[in-house]
Amino acid sequence: MVELVTADDPDVVALQEVPVWALGRLERWSGMAARWAVTAPALLLGPLARIVTELDAARLRSAVTGQANVVLVGPRLLQLNDVGRWAWLRRGRQQRWCQAVDLAGEGDGLVLANLHATNDPALAVPEVARAAAFVAEAERVVLCGDFNAPRHAVEGFSAPIAGIDQILVRGLELVEPAHAWERSRRALGGRLLSDHAPVEAVVA
């Protein structure tokens, strides 16, 4: 999936739920610099974690492999929730993070913020608000990721799309508005890659 989503040389890729065993391979797969925040620790590392997960991927998912948020560039981090180390290690709750990356460009540059909010809309909505406040001083912002709150709007940003995965912008022109990939675009060798459709947008 990483090779497929970076094949057309995007400037930035924001990922969530990346298995921990894959983190050291992302730069080779993508040809981009990778920075990450682990959100759930792995019970097993390396090829064994992948093999065990593939026995029943739909049921096991990240239980064995752990998971992380990744931006393919160099981030500032904000923890969106208060989860102590013990609760995190025993997997009672996940730490939720927002990664912010300052990107050079024409004019004053821009900030890209990637987040994965808690999978409960009542908790997710204030976490998204914290992420928006984290980058409030920037004039040009891309706020994206898994909001875990359907079609959640953020004041001052572009309108959200259907679903929980979003790309919202402020101070930027959307040449192509955010849209989710069709199932056929993420199918390879008879398999549907990722349980979430990538969301893509083109910004001037």
What are the tens digits of pLDDT across the range 107-143? Answer: 567 899 999 999 999 999 999 999 999 999 999 999 9
Task: Specify the DSSP class assigned to residue 173.
Answer: -
Sign for the pseudo-dihedral over CA of 125, 168, 100, 137:
negative
How far, in Å, are 9, 74, 114, 117, 204 from residue 137 at the CA level?
29, 19, 16, 21, 20
Q: How far is CA 87 from CA 14, 59, 107, in A?
A: 26, 22, 44
Smallest Cα–Cα separation from 110: which of 142, 148, 144, 85?
142
Question: Is the separation of the CB atoms in 149 and 128 below 8 Å?
Answer: yes
Structural domain range at position 89: 2-203
Number of domains in the chain: 1
Q: Write down the pLDDT at residue 95.
A: 86
Say which amino acid occupies 7. A
- Provide the pLDDT for residue 123: 95
Instruction: Give the per-residue pLDDT at 83.
Output: 81
| Res 60: pLDDT | 55
Which CATH number fits the domain that encloses residue 161?
3.60.10.10
pLDDT of amino acid 49: 61
| Positions of the chain with pLDDT under 50 | 74
Please indicate, yes or no, whether the overall pTM of this predicted structure exceeds 0.75.
no
Q: According to the model, what pLDDT value does residue 33 have?
A: 84
